[in-house]
């Protein structure tokens, strides 16, 4: 039997009731581009790891038949199995809940533990546990304790992984009990909503519930947003980069959706001296260029001043990092960024041949000291180090300097040699509508070179962005032979494009 309301659907209803309807009747409209594969995998891996938190356990095998999972759980409880993972309960009304870890205390008494891969408790997490408590209680189970298990980001790995230190257990029993009337009322609201809607798609206004808000009951952006905005002209107000969501929704509510409708409204705001005029100018530029662009906007004076800051030899540097939720190496913490790869393109003097150097670590060992050493060996003291989005490379150089005092002075000196080539695009000294209001190199590079597909990240094989590089790097430890070499080549090509792209951008800026 299939559940009508599971804990995931219950939590989704707290964001938007229409989301529950769409998931049931139009699941094909779910936009998977809103998913983060890295986070989903982390959640799965952390959940599997946490199963052993209290020692030996028995896992209830997943099946789409919720009733069978519930029956299997009852059998294990009757046998006296102390730790049951994915313990499932199915009650009248089609309510279903799987408990990540269930401590069976005997005689119908239990403790439930919900596992999260985050390092902090979100408000919706407590409602998640409250729903589980409600279902178990209605199933005749006496829940003596209801807890959240999440990652403790203060844990520093030394030697063998210590699950007791990696995970933090927070008791929310009192808060969960206090929410039981709300849970009951919400279940009735969901049932009534679904009954009233039937097969007809409800008409729900676009609003703040469509967006992510870490402090709210909807910490993630709704994956049905694409579907719900399908009848709005494209591009539209929701495509304006960095505009506050409250402003977007207000414009939409007032009937200003298309760029043609939005442009006069932004112009009015520009004529009003109050407020952030820099942002308004950027909004106006994006919308106006989308509608009327015939050629790129280029501020040659500012670009010339920027290029005057650069000098030979030029070293174009890019890092790739990994931030595993479960620390791999000694001295690292959960989600601590660790550099494992770099690419360097080098122009030693005017007209010199372009050189390239690269490094890709082995995920089975900590490569950071080797990276610190090779960077100090390769990059001269008088180099102009060019990066894209400098805060990232600077943070990693600082981390390496702190970690390896022997290289501290040289690495800290490198930071003073850095010039950020993103600046002309952040400041909009160079802008085309193809950049879509962004200064990300992923958009800037193909916008500057639309006729060079080899400079488009979408045309790379295997690895297209930093998150894919990070995930692929961790996979390397499990690969061998031709498959290993193939993945390594894909990663090297991706990182190489980052620095080659900077070289091409530098040349473009000089041309204009």
| 3-class secondary structure per residue, 372-401 | HHHHHHHCCCCCEEEECCHHHHHHHHHHHH
Nearest to 457 by CA among 505, 401, 498: 498
Which pLDDT value is given to residue 139?
A: 97
Which pLDDT value is given to residue 271?
A: 86
Which pLDDT value is given to residue 274?
A: 79
Which pLDDT value is given to residue 3?
A: 66
As a whole number of angstroms, the distance between CA 346 and CA 353 comes to 8
Nearest to 378 by CA among 335, 423, 403, 414: 414
Helices (H), 95-239: 123-138, 163-166, 173-178, 180-197, 225-228
Contact by Cβ (8 Å): 415, 272: no
Tell me if residue 495 falls in helix, strand or coil: helix
As a whole number of angstroms, the distance between CA 504 and CA 507 comes to 5
Contact by Cβ (8 Å): 347, 510: no
Strands 83-91 and 314-322: unpaired
Contact by Cβ (8 Å): 98, 90: no
Contact by Cβ (8 Å): 61, 76: no
Strands 297-298 and 355-360: unpaired
Which pLDDT value is given to residue 293?
A: 82
296-299 CB contacts, 8 Å cutoff, 24+ apart: 296/430, 296/431, 296/432, 297/428, 297/430, 297/431, 297/432, 298/429, 298/430, 298/512, 299/429, 299/430
Peptide bond into 313 cis (omega under 30): yes
Tell me if residue 117 falls in helix, strand or coil: coil
Structural tokens at position 25: 């009747």
Which pLDDT value is given to residue 444?
A: 97
Helices (H) and strands (E) in the chain, counts: 20, 14
As a whole number of angstroms, the distance between CA 187 and CA 181 comes to 10
Q: Which residues contact 275 (CB under 8 A, 6 or more apart)?
A: 269
Contact by Cβ (8 Å): 437, 282: yes
Which pLDDT value is given to residue 162?
A: 96
As a whole number of angstroms, the distance between CA 170 and CA 112 comes to 11
pTM of the predicted structure, to 2 decimals: 0.92
Nearest to 250 by CA among 242, 268, 262: 262
Which pLDDT value is given to residue 146?
A: 98
Which pLDDT value is given to residue 214?
A: 87
Q: Could you report the average pLDDT of every consecutive run of 10 residues in the chain (512 residues)? A: 83 97 96 90 94 97 94 97 98 95 97 96 97 98 98 97 97 98 97 96 96 92 97 96 96 97 94 84 95 92 98 98 95 96 98 98 96 98 98 98 97 98 97 96 96 94 94 93 96 97 98 92
Q: Sort 163 into a burial class: Cβ within 10 Å, 0-12 / 13-18 / 19+.
A: middle
As a whole number of angstroms, the distance between CA 468 and CA 442 comes to 14
Buried b (16+ CB within 10 A) or exposed e, 213-246: eeeebbebebbbbebbbeeeeebbbbbbeebeee
* DSSP-assigned letter for residue 233: -
């Amino acid at each position: 039997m299939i559940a009508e309301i599971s804990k995931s659907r219950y939590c989704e209803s707290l964001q938007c009731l229409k989301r529950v309807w769409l998931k049931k009747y139009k699941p094909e409209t779910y936009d998977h581009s809103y998913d983060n594969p890295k986070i989903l995998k982390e959640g799965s891996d952390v959940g599997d790891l946490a199963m052993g938190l209290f020692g030996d356990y028995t896992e209830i095998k997943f099946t789409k038949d919720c009733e069978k999972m519930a029956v299997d759980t009852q059998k294990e409880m009757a046998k006296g199995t102390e730790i049951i993972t994915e313990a499932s309960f199915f009650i009248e009304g089609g309510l279903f809940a799987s408990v990540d870890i269930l401590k069976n205390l005997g005689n119908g008494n239990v403790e439930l533990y919900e596992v999260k891969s985050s390092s902090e408790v979100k408000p919706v997490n407590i409602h998640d546990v409250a729903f589980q408590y409600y279902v178990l209680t209605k199933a005749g189970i006496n829940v003596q304790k209801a807890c959240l298990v999440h990652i403790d980001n203060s844990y520093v790995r030394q030697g063998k992984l210590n699950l007791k230190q990696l995970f933090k257990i927070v008791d929310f029993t009192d808060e969960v009990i206090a929410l039981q009337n709300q849970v009951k009322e919400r279940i009735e609201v969901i049932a009534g909503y679904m009954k009233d809607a039937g097969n007809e798609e409800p008409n729900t206004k676009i609003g703040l519930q469509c967006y992510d808000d870490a402090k709210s009951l909807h910490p993630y952006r709704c994956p049905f947003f694409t579907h719900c905005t399908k009848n709005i002209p494209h591009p539209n107000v929701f495509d304006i980069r960095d505009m506050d969501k409250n402003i977007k929704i207000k414009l939409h509510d007032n009937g200003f959706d298309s760029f043609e409708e939005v442009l006069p409204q932004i112009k009015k705001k520009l004529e009003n001296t109050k407020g952030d005029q820099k942002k308004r100018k950027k909004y106006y530029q994006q919308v106006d260029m989308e509608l009327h662009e015939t050629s790129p906007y280029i501020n040659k004076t500012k670009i010339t001043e920027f290029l005057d800051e650069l000098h030979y030899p030029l070293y174009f540097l890019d890092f790739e990092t990994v931030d595993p939720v479960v620390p791999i190496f000694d001295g690292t913490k959960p989600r601590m960024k660790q550099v494992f790869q770099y690419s360097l393109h080098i122009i030693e003097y005017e007209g010199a041949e372009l050189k390239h150097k690269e490094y890709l670590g082995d995920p089975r060992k900590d490569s950071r000291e080797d990276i610190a050493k090779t960077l100090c060996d390769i990059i001269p003291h008088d180099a102009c180090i060019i990066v894209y989005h400098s805060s990232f490379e600077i943070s990693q150089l600082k981390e390496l300097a702190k970690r390896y005092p022997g290289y501290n002075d040289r690495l800290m000196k490198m930071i003073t040699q850095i010039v950020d080539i993103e600046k002309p695009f952040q400041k909009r000294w160079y802008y085309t509508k193809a950049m879509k209001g962004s200064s990300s190199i992923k958009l800037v590079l193909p916008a500057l070179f639309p006729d060079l597909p080899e400079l488009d990240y979408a045309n790379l094989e295997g690895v297209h962005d930093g998150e894919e590089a990070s995930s692929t790097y961790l996979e390397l430890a499990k690969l061998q032979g031709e498959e290993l070499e193939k993945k390594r080549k894909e990663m090297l090509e991706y990182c190489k494009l980052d620095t080659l792209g900077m070289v091409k951008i530098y040349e473009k800026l000089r041309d204009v």
